[in-house]
C-alpha cells in the first residue's frame, strides 16, 4: 500500500477536520510567553492531540505530493537488490557501489541518515504513529507517492530531524549524520549521464516510471548543489540560494535553460555556510528562526516546505497552488513540531547517576554566567511539594522562561554561517513569500538557543565545533583542534557522561577512526573560536574554577 494512500486512511480515521483559531503572530512583534507556544493554534486538548498525531505522520511521509524530485521506486530497488544479468548493468552497479556500499533500499536510506521507527515500547516523547501497511523494518523518513501510474520515493522531514539516541529514535532531534544534501549532489552529477531509453531497457521500467524519472532529471537541472564540509553538517541553505541562481529573477523564480547552464555567481560558490539540522523542541520558545535568527517573519514550517521545494527544483506555481490548498497540513505539521519535547537524561540513565547537590551548585553558576542569554529553567527541586518525590521528578524542569523576543548575539563564534544568509534575502522578492509573510534578514551573530535537552545535543555550536560540554566551557584556543564523531549507539562506549559528549583520546571507539568521521576545526566554516571572552573569561582570565565547571555541566544534564 502506498504511503500517501495509507496516510489519507489514517488521517481520515483521526477525523482531523479541526476548528483552527486565527493564524498565530509569526512576526518579531510576537511576545513569547513563559513555557513557549507548544499549542500555537490554541486547540482544545483533544483536537491538539489529533493535530499532533497527524503532523507527526506528515513529518514521516512527506506531504507535498507535487514535490520536484520523485524518482521511481521499483526500478531503483531492482537495480540495487537484484543480481545484474546485463554486462552494462553490472558495470553501473559496480560504479554505484563506489557511491555507497548498499545491498538493499534500506541500506541506501540508512546511509542517507534515516532511522528505524521507534519501538512499540518506546512511549512518551519517543512515541510516533506508525503508518499502517508498512514492513516493520521500513525506515522513518521515506515517503512513497503515486503519480500518473507510477510510484516514486522521496525524503521527508524525518530524514534530517529524527536522531538515534542510545538505540531510541527521537523524532524532532537532529539527525547526527545526514547525507540528504550529499545525495542531491551525487544525483545531480548522475543526471548528466541519464538516457531514457537505456533506463527503460536496463531496469525494466514502465513508461510511467520513465516519465517520472524524466521529470526528476529535468528538475535537477534547476538544483544548485554543494558538498557539505564534513559528515554531520548540512548545506540546505546553500542549496536553496544556489538553486535560485539557476532560475529567473522574477516573482515566481521561473525556470530558464540559460541560468541552468550558467547560473549567476554567488558568494556561496566559494564560501561555506554549513550548519547542523535544528532540533524541533526549541521552536516553541522563539520568534526568530534558524541558528542565526535571520527568518524574522512567517510560519517557519511553511517557509521550510517552500525551501525544500526550491532545493528540489519544483515549479513554484505548482508549489504555490499546493500550499494554498493545504492549510490544514501545514497547521498539523506546525502543531506537531511546536509540541515536540526533548528527551530527558533519566530516560537513558539512572537518576542516581546525577549528583543532585552538585547540580544545585551548578544552578547557581548557571544563573550568574548563562541565564542572561539562554533563559531561566525552574527546577522541581526548588519547590517544597517535591521534597519527598522520587529523584527523577525532583530533577525535572518545571518552567522555561526564555526571551519574549528572540535575541541575536555575536559572541565571536565562526561567522561563515550567518554571513551566508545574505544570499537568501532574495527569497523576499518571491510572490509566495510576500503572500505568506516570509521575511529573511541577515543578522550578525547567532541566536543563543534555549538549553532544553542540551545534554542530548552534542556536538555543540551551530557547526559542531565543540565535541562536549567540557569543550564548550574551555577557552576556545584550548578546545580540541580535531575530534572523531560517531553514532550514539552504546551509552558506555559512545558517550563521555562526565563531559557530556564524544569520548576523546584512547576512549574513541576504533570504528570511528576514519577520515569521514574526523572533524577538523582548522577548516574554514568549522572554526572553534568564540563563546568564551565576556562569558566565562574576563580579559583572558578564567572566571570559573574547575569545580564550578563540573557543577555547571551537571546542572545542564538536568535540562
Interatomic CA distance for residues 16 and 53, integer angstroms: 10
Residues whose CB is less than 8 angstroms from the CB of residue 544 and which lie 6 or more positions away in sequence, other chains included: 365, 369, 473, 536, 552
Residues β-bridged to residue 152? 72, 145
* pLDDT for the residue numbered 198: 85
* pLDDT for the residue numbered 9: 53
User: 98: how many CB neighbours lie within 10 A of its CB?
Assistant: 7
Q: What is the mean pLDDT of residues 37-65?
A: 94
Asked whether 494 and 184 are in contact (CB, 8 A), the reply is: no
Asked whether 185 and 284 are in contact (CB, 8 A), the reply is: no
**What b/e readout covers 34-60, taking b as 16+ CB neighbours within 10 angstroms?**
eebbbbbbebeeebbebbbbbbbbbbb
* pLDDT for the residue numbered 93: 62
Interatomic CA distance for residues 323 and 325, integer angstroms: 5
Using CA of residue 11, residue 16, residue 22, residue 26, what is the dihedral sign?
negative
* pLDDT for the residue numbered 16: 55
Interatomic CA distance for residues 150 and 72, integer angstroms: 7
Of 460, 454, 419, the C-alpha closest to 553 is 454
The cell for 466 is 565543540
With 70 as the cut, is the pLDDT of residue 454 above it? Answer: yes
Interatomic CA distance for residues 387 and 393, integer angstroms: 10
Looking at 265-415, list the stretches that DSSP marks H as alpha helix, in order from N- to C-terminal side. Answer: 300-310, 316-325, 327-338, 356-369, 371-374, 391-394
* pLDDT for the residue numbered 4: 55
Asked whether 377 and 359 are in contact (CB, 8 A), the reply is: no
Asked whether 24 and 43 are in contact (CB, 8 A), the reply is: no
* pLDDT for the residue numbered 203: 83
Residues β-bridged to residue 482? 520
Which of helix, strand or coil describes residue 51?
helix
* pLDDT for the residue numbered 202: 83
The pTM assigned to this predicted structure is 0.93
Condensed to tens digits (0 to 9), the pLDDT of residues 497-544 reads 999 999 999 999 999 999 999 999 999 999 999 999 999 999 999 999
Condensed to tens digits (0 to 9), the pLDDT of residues 372-402 reads 999 999 999 999 999 899 999 999 999 999 9
Asked whether 454 and 174 are in contact (CB, 8 A), the reply is: no
Which of helix, strand or coil describes residue 106?
helix
Interatomic CA distance for residues 372 and 229, integer angstroms: 32
Condensed to tens digits (0 to 9), the pLDDT of residues 206-261 reads 999 999 999 999 999 999 999 999 999 999 999 999 999 999 999 999 999 999 99
Apex 315 CA angle, 312 and 316, nearest 5:
100
Asked whether 199 and 88 are in contact (CB, 8 A), the reply is: no
What HEC string does 472-520 produce?
Answer: HCCCHHHCCCEEECCCCCCCCCCCECCCCECCCHHHCCHHHCCHHHEEE
Amino acid at each position: 500500500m502506498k504511503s500517501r494512500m495509507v496516510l489519507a486512511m489514517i488521517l481520515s480515521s483521526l477525523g482531523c477536520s479541526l476548528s483552527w483559531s486565527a493564524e498565530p503572530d509569526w512576526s518579531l512583534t510576537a511576545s513569547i510567553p513563559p513555557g513557549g507556544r507548544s499549542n500555537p493554534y490554541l486547540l482544545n486538548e483533544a483536537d491538539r492531540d489529533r493535530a499532533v498525531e497527524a503532523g507527526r505522520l506528515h513529518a514521516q511521509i512527506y506531504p507535498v505530493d507535487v514535490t520536484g524530485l520523485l524518482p521511481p521506486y521499483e526500478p531503483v530497488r531492482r537495480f540495487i537488490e537484484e543480481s545484474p544479468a546485463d554486462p552494462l548493468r553490472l558495470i553501473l552497479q559496480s560504479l554505484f557501489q563506489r557511491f555507497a556500499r548498499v545491498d538493499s533500499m534500506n541500506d541506501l536510506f540508512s546511509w542517507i541518515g534515516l532511522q528505524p521507527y521507534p519501538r512499540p515500547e518506546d512511549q512518551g516523547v519517543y512515541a510516533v504513529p506508525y503508518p499502517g501497511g508498512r514492513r516493520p523494518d521500513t525506515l522513518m523518513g521515506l515517503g512513497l507517492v503515486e503519480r500518473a501510474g507510477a510510484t516514486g520515493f522521496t525524503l521527508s522531514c524525518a530524514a534530517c530531524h529524527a536522531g538515534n539516541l542510545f538505540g531510541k529514535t527521537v523524532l524532532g532531534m537532529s539527525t547526527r549524520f545526514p547525507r540528504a544534501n550529499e545525495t542531491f549532489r551525487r544525483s545531480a552529477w548522475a543526471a548528466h549521464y541519464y538516457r531514457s531509453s537505456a533506463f527503460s531497457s536496463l531496469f525494466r521500467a514502465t513508461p510511467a516510471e520513465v516519465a517520472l524519472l524524466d521529470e526528476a532529471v529535468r528538475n535537477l537541472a534547476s538544483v544548485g548543489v554543494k558538498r557539505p564540509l564534513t559528515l554531520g553538517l548540512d548545506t540546505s541553505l546553500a542549496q536553496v540560494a544556489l538553486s535560485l541562481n539557476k532560475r529567473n529573477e522574477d516573482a515566481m523564480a521561473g525556470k530558464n535553460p540559460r541560468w541552468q547552464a550558467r547560473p549567476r555567481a554567488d558568494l556561496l560558490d566559494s564560501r561555506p555556510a554549513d550548519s547542523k539540522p535544528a532540533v524541533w523542541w526549541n521552536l516553541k520558545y522563539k520568534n526568530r528562526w534558524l541558528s542565526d535568527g535571520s527568518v524574522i517573519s512567517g510560519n517557519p514550517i511553511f517557509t521550510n516546505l517552500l525551501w525544500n521545494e526550491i532545493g528540489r527544483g519544483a515549479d513554484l506555481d505548482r508549489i504555490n497552488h499546493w500550499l494554498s490548498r493545504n492549510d490544514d497540513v501545514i497547521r498539523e505539521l506546525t502543531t506537531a513540531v511546536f509540541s515536540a519535547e526533548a528527551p530527558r537524561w533519566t530516560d537513558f540513565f539512572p537518576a542516581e547517576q546525577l549528583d543532585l547537590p552538585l547540580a544545585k551548585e551548578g544552578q547557581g553558576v548557571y544563573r550568574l554566567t548563562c541565564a542572561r542569554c539562554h533563559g531561566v529553567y525552574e527546577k522541581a527541586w526548588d519547590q517544597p511539594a517535591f521534597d519527598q518525590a522520587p529523584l527523577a521528578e525532583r530533577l525535572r524542569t518545571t518552567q522555561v522562561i526564555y526571551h519574549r523576543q528572540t535575541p541575536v548575539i555575536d559572541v565571536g563564534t565562526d561567522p561563515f554561517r550567518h554571513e551566508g544568509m545574505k544570499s537568501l534575502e532574495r527569497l523576499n522578492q518571491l510572490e509566495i513569500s510576500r503572500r505568506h509573510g516570509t521575511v529573511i534578514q541577515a543578522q550578525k551573530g547567532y541566536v543563543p538557543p534555549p538549553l532544553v535537552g542540551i545534554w542530548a545535543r552534542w556536538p555543540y555550536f551551530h557547526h559542531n565545533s565543540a565535541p562536549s560540554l567540557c569543550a564548550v566551557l574551555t577557552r576556545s584556543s584550548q578546545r580540541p583542534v580535531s575530534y572523531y564523531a560517531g553514532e550514539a549507539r552504546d551509552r558506555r562506549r559512545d558517550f563521555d557522561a562526565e563531559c557530556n559528549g564524544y569520548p576523546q583520546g584512547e576512549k574513541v571507539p576504533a570504528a570511528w577512526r576514519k577520515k569521514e568521521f574526523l572533524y577538523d576545526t582548522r577548516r574554514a566554516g568549522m572554526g572553534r573560536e568564540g563563546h568564551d571572552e565576556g562569558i566565562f573569561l574576563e580579559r583572558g582570565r578564567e572566571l570559573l574554577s574547575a569545580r564550578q565547571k563540573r557543577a555547571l555541566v551537571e546542572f545542564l544534564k538536568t535540562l
